[in-house]
Amino acid sequence: MKVIKEIEAEIATLVSFVENNYKKDSPKMFTREKGRMVFLRHVILFLETNPSEDYMRREAARLDKLITSLESQFETWTKNTPPDAPPSKYKAIFSKEMGLTLLRLQRKTAYYILND
């Protein structure tokens, strides 16, 4: 399981990388690193609550089961409630309505903390 000091070290590495390689001409180049730093800061906030490894494993399993269950409902959702958008956008609308994006982020965080 990850420790706060490991996360802080990774953030420090990212900060030094951005500071050493940042060019005012191409600020979008470091969008991924900035997003990673935001993710790591959220992980630190969660780790400050001192979750047990057992809790993290149960939470990851619960999120896996919930995401799988919601994704299996997509076909039924498209048949019963077609939105006014084109069919190519159905998956994005479904994910937004069901909150799948947030659930996937929570699952990613849980597995990151567990080193899985």
Give 73-94 pLDDT, tens digit per residue. 999 988 887 678 888 888 899 9
Predicted local distance difference test score (pLDDT) of residue 17: 85
The pLDDT confidence band at residue 18, using thresholds 50, 70 and 90, is confident
pLDDT of residue 86: 85
Q: What is the pLDDT of residues 57-66, one digit of tens each?
A: 999 999 999 9
| Residue 2 φ then ψ, to 5° | -70, 155
- Mean pLDDT for the stretch of residues 3-23: 88
* pLDDT: which is higher, 96 or 81: 96
* pTM score, whole prediction: 0.81
- The conformational region for residue 91 under phi > 0 = left, psi -120 to 50 = alpha, else beta, is alpha
Residue 91's H or E segment, with its range, is: helix 90-98
Q: What angle do CA 106, 108, 112 make, to 5 degrees?
A: 115
Contacts with 80 (C-beta within 8 Å, 6 or more apart), sequence order: none
pLDDT bucket at 115, cuts 50 / 70 / 90: confident
Q: Provide the token pair at 24.
A: 């005012």
Q: How far from the centroid of its chain's Cα atoms is residue 60's Cα? A: 12
How far apart, in whole angstroms, are the C-alpha atoms of residue 44 and residue 16? 19
pLDDT, position 116? 58
Inter-residue contact 11 to 41 (CB < 8 Å): yes
Token pair of 94 as six digits: 């479904």
Residue 26 clears pLDDT 80, i.e. is over it = no
